[in-house]
Chain A
Amino acid sequence: MSQFDGPGPEAAFHAHLAEGRFMIQRSASTGRHVFYPRVMEPCSGTADLEWVEASGLGTVYATTANRSRDGAYNIALVDLDEGPRMMARVEGIDAGDVTIGMRVRASVGEIDGTPAVIFHPEGA
């Protein structure tokens, strides 16, 4: 049986998310975490990736507020404490008030009915 049988990494991630769980991958041999979900760990090429629960803690690396007549919403890049970076939104604060270096905590929410990892300022 091939190690690549069954749902692929993207489908597995979304299945976890639909159950309210924010899961990321970790290589059993190198110990490094991986996001976005992949078939192999980038660079090393090891294919022994396992799903682990993300701590949900991270730090804002870059941030912007997309503005239009309908208002503004935040888009940020968050460095997870486990190492990988991901795009997300920081909510619970004005879109333009999110700052680089801000500590944030993840929860599984929804954007227009689609499950998504959303961050809030830690302690908020």
Chain B
Amino acid sequence: MAHPLRGKVACAGLATAGCGEAPGRNSMELMVEAVHGALADAAIPLSEVGGVFCATAVHAFPALSLAEHLGVHPKYSDGSNIGGSSFIAHALTAAMALDAGIIDVAVIAYGSNQRTAGGFRSISEPMPFEAVYKPRNPITAYALAASRYLHQFGATKEDLAEVAVAARKWAALNPEAFERDPLSVEDVVGARMISDPLGKLDCCLVTDGAAAIVLTRADRAKDGPRPPVYLLGAAMAHHHRMISAMPDLTVTAASDSGPRAFEMAGYGPGDMHTVQLYDAFTINTLLFLEDLGYCAKGEAKDFVKGGRISPGGDLAVNTNGGGLSCVHPGMYGLFVTIEAIRQIRAALGSDEGPREPGGWIEGARLSVGHGNGGVLSSQVTGVWGAAETL
């Protein structure tokens, strides 16, 4: 029997704002620009927004701030913060609130001016029993995971570099991407080492940017100007907060969230036409390909070889260029989601803007958008589909 939430809500509109550099505009202003754009995209007036969902790295009560800025009096709001994956968790919560009739229109939003404001900054507390050693989180934590992965499976820095190179090839097809210049494995391996084995080009961009999506119940989404893209499945999991408490540094909780999200959707990983993974660092893509079921544990290093996840390869992964080459304003989960949805909208004939040939995936009807938060901590998987996949 189908899961009771499967396909009950859809994305009716979406927008990004200020991606790249947005000097002089603050995080909340950028977030509101994205909300304005997403509501216009959905042709839904602000006055109908009943649910406000958001998280940032710098606001203690982001839902209060966003609702106030918008002048919305929410019937339901959620500022839960489990890191960069929060927004996909918000989509699950919003789906429950919409399906239960608590709200009729939900807005999920994020915004950051970290690049032009001087770099990543967070109100996150120091990790007890770790802080004394001065880890430079998040990179130290991801470097520890990468060290373990390389040791355990005989992978190399060149294998990690393949991920960055593939992302850059997708970015080259996307005029919206921040870094589009050609990139080689040698460039990535030879870049300045920051936290062994991760060098500068194993790390995501530091950009400004904001994003928003509008969710409504499926019946209403049908009437909008854009093709509705339905939330078929969503699931969250987390097994630790601090990297020193992660049970196995080569297995993320995506191995838990992924199968549940796919089961709810009624589709498997192999059914997805596009795969959008939260690539804060090159190691992420390898771990998530394995944990979401695209290959066995330890095999992603071979899976990504030969351009398999590059444009024209077998699997369309991170088709916007990812956090590594397109945009990464500190918390990337909503951008993963938006790319997953836009690929489906574009394939259904919606004008999503120009891309070089191959940048929009022909026939895309199903996408997975997977979010990561903290230090490989929270994992939230969303499965999105066109009307015909219901």
Residues of A contacting B: mostly: strand
User: Smallest Cβ distance from A98 to chain B, in angstroms?
Assistant: 10
Are A96 and B249 interface neighbours, CB within 8 A?
no
Range of interface residues on A (Cβ < 8 Å): 20 to 34
Interface size, chain B (Cβ < 8 Å): 26
Check if B196 sits within 8 Å of A67, measured CB to CB: yes
Interface set, chain A 51-70, CB cutoff 8 A to B = 61-67
Contact of A114 among B132, B198, B244 (CB under 8 A): B132
In the assembled complex, A33 has its CB within 8 A of some CB on chain B: no
- Complex contacts, B143 vs chain A, CB 8 Å: 64
CA distance A87 to B193 in the complex (A): 21
Query: A76: nearest residue on chain B (CB-CB)?
Result: B144
Q: Separation in Å of the A106 CB from the closest CB of chain B?
A: 13
Contacting pair B244 A85 (CB below 8 A) = yes
Interface residues of A in 8-58 (CB under 8 A from B): 10, 13, 35-37
Q: Is the CB of A66 within 8 A of B128?
A: no
Give the residue name and chain of the A residue nearest to B244 (CB): A87
Inter-chain contact B249/A75, CB cutoff 8 Å: no
Q: Is residue B356 within 8 Å, beta carbon to beta carbon, of the partner chain?
A: no
The chain A residue sitting closest to B146, CB to CB, is A64
The answer to whether B244 and A64 touch across the interface, beta carbons within 8 angstroms, is no
B190 contacts chain A at the CB level, 8 A cutoff = no
- Asked if B133 and A111 sit within 8 Å, CB to CB, the answer is yes
Contact A100 B151 (CB under 8 A): yes
A36: B residues at CB distance < 8 A: 128-129, 244-245
Which residues of chain B have C-beta atoms less than 8 A from A63's C-beta?
144, 147, 196
Contact of B195 with A by CB under 8 A: yes
B114-128: CB near A (< 8 Å → 1, else 0) gives 000000000000001
What A residues does B243 contact at CB under 8 A? 77, 87
For the complex formed, measure the closest distance between the CB of B322 and the CB atoms of chain A, giving whole angstroms: 23
Q: Mark B131-162 against chain A: 1 for CB-CB distance below 8 A, else 0.
A: 01111100010011101100100000000000
Residues of B in contact with A (beta carbons under 8 Å apart): 128-130, 132-136, 140, 143-145, 147-148, 151, 193-198, 242-245, 249
> Contacts A10-B129, A67-B195, A73-B134 given; 13 further ones with Cβ under 8 A?
A36-B245, A62-B147, A64-B147, A64-B198, A65-B196, A67-B196, A75-B140, A77-B249, A85-B244, A87-B129, A111-B134, A114-B132, A116-B133
A-B contact pairs, 20 of them (CB 8 A): A10-B129, A35-B129, A36-B244, A61-B249, A62-B145, A62-B147, A64-B195, A64-B198, A65-B193, A66-B135, A66-B195, A67-B194, A75-B134, A75-B144, A76-B144, A87-B130, A87-B242, A87-B244, A89-B133, A116-B132
Q: Which 6 A-B pairs have the closest CB atoms?
A: A64-B143, A62-B144, A87-B244, A36-B129, A62-B148, A100-B151
